Chain A
Amino acid sequence: MKAVITVIGKDQVGIIATVSTKCAEYGANITEITQSVLDQYFAMIMIADIDGLKADFAAFSDALSDLGKNTGLEIRCMHEDIFDAMHKI
């Protein structure tokens, strides 16, 4: 199972380090990172393997969301299925 973590906000030093530290803490293994632009904002997309997640998905998602709030970023963590459902027939 994979989670899609999106980080939206102003680009700043250490974003990848901050988010990946949190992922490591929860046992999520980042397999891919890309960067893009969404509505003039910096958007980083991380794909993480969550088979070895140490907490439940909601707790992991909340932890990332809280991390975002503390760093002025918008961090979302969503199960990959929603993207597959919407964009693949």
Chain B
Amino acid sequence: MINTQDILETINMIREENLDVRTVTMGISLYDCVSDDVDKLCANIYDKLMTKAKDLVPTANEIEKLYGIPIVNKRVSVTPISYIGGKAGPDDYIKIAKTLDRAASDLGINFIGGYSALVQKGMTRGADALIESIPDALAETGMVCSSVNVGSTRAGINMDAVARMGRTVKAAAAKTADRDAIGCAKLVVFANAVDDNPFMAGAFHGTGEGDCVINVGVSGPGVVEKAIRRAGDCDFSALADVIKKTAFKITRVGQLVAYEASKRLDVPYGIVDLSLAPTPAIGDSVACILESMGLEVCGGPGTTAALAMLNDAVKKGGVMASSHVGGLSGAFIPVSEDAGMIAAAESGVLTLEKLEAMTAVCSVGLDMICIPGDTSAETISGIIADEIAIGMVNNKTTAVRVIPAPGKGVGEKVEFGGLLGYAPVMRVNPVSCEKFIARGGRIPAPIHSLKN
């Protein structure tokens, strides 16, 4: 027997508090598409995607109707393309990117991720060519997302790759300067990237994954915020309990959707990602959760502690609600995709340095942050190096997705639209790290990587 209050609570979460399933992402292996002829490779990729994912969107729509819960995004992630490009050169890689884009469009999905390379220890010819192609590939496609893993706890940081990615981000911005540097919004630089992340722009289908898998990312910052506000002036133990109970309920919806999608598509269920993913909509903000805990504005003193508690409580509540938890599983703090973060950045309270501190206690990193267009490639590399170091030392995933907005300075606004939102250009510390970045080579793995 279902209790009336339980029914109304669920309805209220969906109606008023923006409860949704953020994404159903199908991971597809492309290893069996490999060919030494790039046209044949592209044809194989297109055919495999169209076969495996043909029912993804209609099935997700059916599940949306069945449970009355919005499923915001339907996405596909693929094997990191640098692994399957073979002898392809940069121009060939762009052909592959366009093939992915065409398949994404024909499938009706929102994004396709996996235009990726993992170069934390060194760079293969394929990875080199793929990275070379990234700025053009992102400029010439609409739905392709790219990521490059430049560091890990086990391997240390590939500083040559860090230097290269600073230049790549600048080039991606230049190639899409007419569209507010949208190319950079589809490019993530990672440490400790995960194989089963359903969220963009960093999703790819990792090497240890099966042929095809369903991963689900939940959401619900608004639900957590409202629950905290309803709890009133309780102490932190009580507050953690409120968050845990709410996270449990949110995650159960994700688990239900993952299970149903797996059954209907006859594809194994991989993981549920417990991340709290915000949107620019009012009432769907992680920053507002932190403010509901008692902060005047997100970014002020207390913010890192509030975020640490939120992140931990979400995991503790979520982990019991799902049989397999994975992906990034932590609160996201993208600036442009979170109304509260946007307001905090506009007011000047939330700074790049505070955001960096916050990334030490949550997932995923410096995300969707607009910086002045004249920021040098070396400075961007310095920002990347700092963030990757946090990931390496803390044994966690971190990432950088910054947008050096062409022709824009501090305080000006960059508009991406949709879920990517808008953001004010934030100040970057102007002192140089040019000589540091120019050293090249690798930062050795930390001592605690030696666990065996």
Contacts and interface: CB of A to CB of B under 8 A. Distances in A.
24 contacts: A6-B7, A8-B11, A36-B5, A39-B12, A39-B16, A43-B8, A43-B11, A57-B62, A57-B65, A58-B61, A74-B15, A77-B68, A79-B66, A79-B67, A80-B2, A82-B10, A82-B68, A83-B2, A83-B6, A83-B7, A83-B10, A86-B6, A86-B10, A87-B6
Contacts of A47: 2
Nearest to B61: A58
B3 interface: yes
Interface in A1-35: 4, 6, 8, 34
Nearest to A84: B2
Contact of A85 (B3, B12, B253): B253
Contacts of B253: 82, 85-86
A62 B11 contact: no
B169 to A, nearest CB: 41
Contact of A82 (B3, B12, B69): B69
Interface range for A: 20 to 34
B249 A45 contact: no
A84 B3 CA distance: 10
Given A36-B4, A81-B256, A62 B10 contact: no
Contacts of B67: 78-79, 81-82
Contacts of A83: 2, 6-7, 10
Contacts of A8: 11, 15
Given A85-B255, A85-B256, A38 B2 contact: no
A84 to B, nearest CB: 7
A82 B70 CA distance: 12
Given A82-B253, A85-B252, A86-B10, A45 B68 contact: no
A43 B11 CA distance: 10
B258 to A, nearest CB: 11
B56 to A, nearest CB: 16
Given A36-B8, A38-B11, A87 B2 contact: yes
Contacts of B5: 36
Contacts of B7: 4, 6, 45, 83
Contacts of A74: 15
Contact of A38 (B12, B65, B69): B12
Contacts of A34: 4
Most A CB within 10 A of own CB, among B4, B68, B249: B68
A57 B66 contact: yes
Contacts of B252: 85-86
Most A CB within 10 A of own CB, among B7, B9, B12: B7
Contact of A61 (B15, B16, B65): B65
Interface in A44-87: 45, 47, 57-58, 61-62, 74, 76-87
A87 B65 contact: no
Given A58-B65, A80-B2, A86-B10, 6 more contacts: A38-B11, A57-B62, A58-B61, A78-B68, A83-B7, A87-B9
A76 B11 contact: yes
A1 to B, nearest CB: 10
Contacts of A78: 66-69
A6 B66 contact: no
Contacts of A58: 61-62, 65-66
B366 to A, nearest CB: 34
A2 to B, nearest CB: 8
Nearest to B320: A89
A82 B11 contact: no
A40 to B, nearest CB: 12
A45 B4 contact: yes
Nearest to A47: B2
Contacts of B12: 38-39
Contact of B8 (A38, A77, A81, A86): A38
Contacts of A6: 7-8, 11
B1 to A, nearest CB: 9
